[in-house]
Amino acid sequence: MKDIIIIGGGGHAKVLASVLKKHSEWNPIGYTDPKDSGPLLGLPYLGNDSIIKLLILEKNLQYAVIGIGQIKNIESRKRIIQSFESTGLTLPTIISEYAIINEDVHIAKGSVIMDGVIIQPGVRIGKYSIVNTGATIDHDCQIGDYVHIAPGVNLSGDVIVGNNVLIGTGARVVQGIHINSDVIIGAGSVVVKSILRSGTYIGVPARILSKD
């Protein structure tokens, strides 16, 4: 098994810790965070991010995973990821052994697939994306980089999702829809028409939020 640390100590990191502890390939040895929140499902607090260089030198640490979900904005999460890439650590793709990943699926580096996810054939997922608990992605969907598909989301077949997109909890997207980059879909929304303009969309059917 390969030693790996979790970057972050919040709720998303806790779920990721659970995925890693059940995994046959990974051995989570602890987490880093600006503050000590105590054990994370039994995993120790290793220190703040400054400890990482020491772990690389003294423990020959090679792997880390970003346990930070969708924070205030996607750009902040991207900067955090880029800062850890610069340390020389590998940020691998993590796929729960309790997810169903069917044939002809490609998932790029650094993406995380949580428990209960179902991904059907022909799907492509970009780098550093999150497919969260119980989400389903049907055939031939194309998902960009830095996308967060929240728990319980359903994407029908042939959906195209750009980069830097958040699809909120329980949202549904009908077949053949195109969602532009830099879009937020609110929780529980239903997308029945392509979204070609960046912004925040909510409702059934989903509509762009008023700027008033």
pLDDT tens for 66-101 read 998 765 567 777 888 888 888 888 999 999 999 999
Taking the CA atoms of 144, 133, 12 and 15 in sequence, report the sign of the dihedral they define: negative
- pLDDT tens, 148-162? 999 999 999 999 999
| Sheet order of strands, 26-32 included | 45-47, 26-32, 2-7, 64-66
Answering whether pTM is above 0.85, one says yes
The pLDDT value recorded for residue 79 is: 82
Statement to judge: residues 48 and 68 lie in one domain: yes
> What's the CATH number where 75 sits?
3.40.50.20
Is residue 134 situated within a structural domain?
A: yes
Q: Give the C-alpha separation, 12 to 143, whole Å.
A: 21
List CB contacts of 104: < 8 A, sequence separation 6 or more: 121, 122
Closest CA to 80 of 27, 34, 16: 34
- pLDDT tens, 102-145? 999 999 999 999 999 999 999 999 999 999 999 999 999 999 99
Chain-wide mean pLDDT for the chain?
Answer: 93
Statement to judge: residues 81 and 142 lie in one domain: no
Statement to judge: residues 99 and 190 lie in one domain: yes
Q: At which of 26, 56, 85 does a domain end?
A: 85
Q: At which of 63, 85, 107 does a domain end?
A: 85
The catalytically annotated residue of 106, 139, 148, 178 is 139
Statement to judge: residues 129 and 31 lie in one domain: no
Is residue 125 situated within a structural domain?
A: yes
Is residue 123 situated within a structural domain?
A: yes
Is residue 208 situated within a structural domain?
A: no
Three-state DSSP at 10 gives coil
| Sheet order of strands, 130-131 included | 94-95, 112-113, 130-131, 148-149, 166-167, 183-185, 199-202, 207-208
* Placement of tokens 């970003």 in the chain: 66
Q: Which two tokens stand for residue 88?
A: 């020389």
Domains in the chain: how many in total? 2
Better-predicted residue by pLDDT, 76 or 165? 165
- pLDDT tens, 3-12? 999 999 999 9
Is residue 8 situated within a structural domain?
A: yes
In degrees, rounded to 5, the angle at the alpha carbon of residue 199 between the alpha carbons of residues 193 and 204 is: 40
Q: How far is CA 167 from the centre of its chain?
A: 11
The pLDDT value recorded for residue 80 is: 82
Q: Which two tokens stand for residue 129?
A: 């994306």
Statement to judge: residues 71 and 129 lie in one domain: no
Statement to judge: residues 80 and 99 lie in one domain: no
Q: Give the C-alpha separation, 47 to 70, whole Å.
A: 22
For 12, the domain range is 2-85
Is residue 205 situated within a structural domain?
A: no
The pLDDT value recorded for residue 73 is: 62
Q: Give the C-alpha separation, 37 to 23, whole Å.
A: 24
By mean pLDDT, which of 34-38, 41-45, 132-136 is the weakest? Answer: 34-38
The pLDDT value recorded for residue 212 is: 36
> What's the CATH number where 179 sits?
2.160.10.10
Is residue 157 situated within a structural domain?
A: yes
CB-based contact 146:152 (threshold 8 Å): no
The pLDDT value recorded for residue 88 is: 82
Statement to judge: residues 115 and 71 lie in one domain: no
Q: Which two tokens stand for residue 89?
A: 């650590």
Is residue 160 situated within a structural domain?
A: yes
Statement to judge: residues 180 and 153 lie in one domain: yes
Known catalytic membership, residue 139: yes
